[in-house]
Amino acid sequence: MKATITHKKQTFSVNLSKPIDISIPLSDAQNPAAWYIDKPTIVPVQSDDWIGKVSEGGDVNFNTITFNPHAHGTHTECVGHITEKVHSINEHLTHFFYTAELITVAPEQHGDDFVISKKQLQYDLKGKSPEALVIRTIPNTEKKKTKNWAHTNWPYIEESAMVFLRQLGIKHLLIDLPSVDREKDEGELKAHRAFWDLDGTIRMDATITEMIYVPHRIEDGSYLLNLQIAPFENDASPSKPVLYKIG
């Protein structure tokens, strides 16, 4: 189903029958993980001689799920992730459709680290200033959907690059890594702080979405982003970002 959408005085065509889901589903089997904790668990409730599993004699499937949104897959976080007061993503993400640009970046080696620089982002954006930026990093294999990221020193975004994105007006950043910051940075969180302008006028309505997965077949370019979250009163929530190709 094709639709003509007007968004903030821009009019464009999207095919709503061709959604591109870039989230990683939560599973207790094949699931990504980070931050040194065990994988999620999904287990049926048991009470006396009753079990919440139809295949084992229960009348319904009735599971308890234990997971951490930051560690176990695609999640969207607000500034409450790094502030003393825990602001809620459910409270501060109040709109759900955004213009978005998808870019593919090969992080540059700096010593023992791989980083995404301001220069790379400037080049890839080519003067565009979308509301949301989706970053796919290279190498880009399906292992990202099940990888244990602990102790891998994953690539991260330089502070100056985050300042550039903030000044460009990008409100929503999505990336296929466990964090925009270095895995072990002594709690400095420079990229997070710069994006949310923690030392200036805090951007309460800006979000960071981590641990997405964008297959190679999806072309770089302009999209409409539908950023869906579960209504958790927490700094972060599991999320389901969906792209629709513009044009």
Mean pLDDT calculated for residue range 82-109 = 97
Residues whose CB is less than 8 angstroms from the CB of residue 18 and which lie 6 or more positions away in sequence, other chains included: 244, 245
Q: How far is C-alpha 61 from the chain's CA centre?
A: 29
Does 6 have pLDDT greater than 90?
no
The token pair at 111 is 């010593």
Confidence at 10, pLDDT banded by 50, 70, 90: confident
The Cα-based distances of 171 to 53, 81, 140, 167 in angstroms read 43, 16, 25, 10
Pick the CATH number of 2-27+68-245 from 3.50.30.50, 1.10.3720.10, 3.20.20.70, 3.90.550.10: 3.50.30.50
Q: Kindly report, residue by residue over 212-234, the tens digit of the pLDDT.
A: 999 999 999 999 999 999 999 99
Confidence at 4, pLDDT banded by 50, 70, 90: confident
Mean pLDDT calculated for residue range 9-17 = 88
Domain boundaries, the chain: 2-27+68-245
pTM: 0.96
Q: What interhelical angle do 159-168 and 118-125 show, nearest 10?
A: 40
Q: Kindly report, residue by residue over 106-163, the tens digit of the pLDDT.
A: 999 999 999 999 999 999 999 999 999 999 999 999 999 999 999 999 999 999 999 9
Terminal CA-to-CA distance of the chain, rounded, Å? 13
The rounded distance, in Å, linking the Cα atoms of 53 and 35 is: 31
Give pLDDT, residue 1.
Answer: 74
Does 8 have pLDDT greater than 80?
no
